[in-house]
Amino acid sequence: MNTDKARRVAIRVMDEFEEMLGRKGMVIPSADREGGKEEACIYGTEGYQLEDAVADILVDETRPRRRRR
């Protein structure tokens, strides 16, 4: 999977977690929060780090592997 597609899928995965956390009334703490009602459950640096990690996993796990002889 190329990086752009992995990023799009990672964002979709994050959206699913965001919805679940919202239903449960849970918020991931972040030093970036300012207290606005519009702030997502996964916000700021923590959100970007998680999105990057998911995208990296998708790229890595879908990369063709060389066969061992």
Q: How many CB atoms lie within 10 A of CB 35?
A: 5
Residue 68 lies in a domain: no
- Structure tokens of 9? 């899928």
Structural domain including 22 reads: 3-62
pLDDT of residue 11: 97
Q: Is 38 helix (H, G, I), strand (E, B) or coil?
A: coil
Residue 69 lies in a domain: no
Note the pLDDT tens digit of each residue in 4-22.
999 999 999 999 999 999 9
Mean pLDDT in residue range 40-68:
92
State how many domains the chain has.
1
Opening angle at CA 54, ends 31 and 2, nearest 5: 130
- Structure tokens of 56? 């990296």
Residue 67 lies in a domain: no
Opening angle at CA 19, ends 42 and 48, nearest 5: 25
Q: Above pLDDT 90, what percent of the chain?
A: 88
Residue 18 lies in a domain: yes
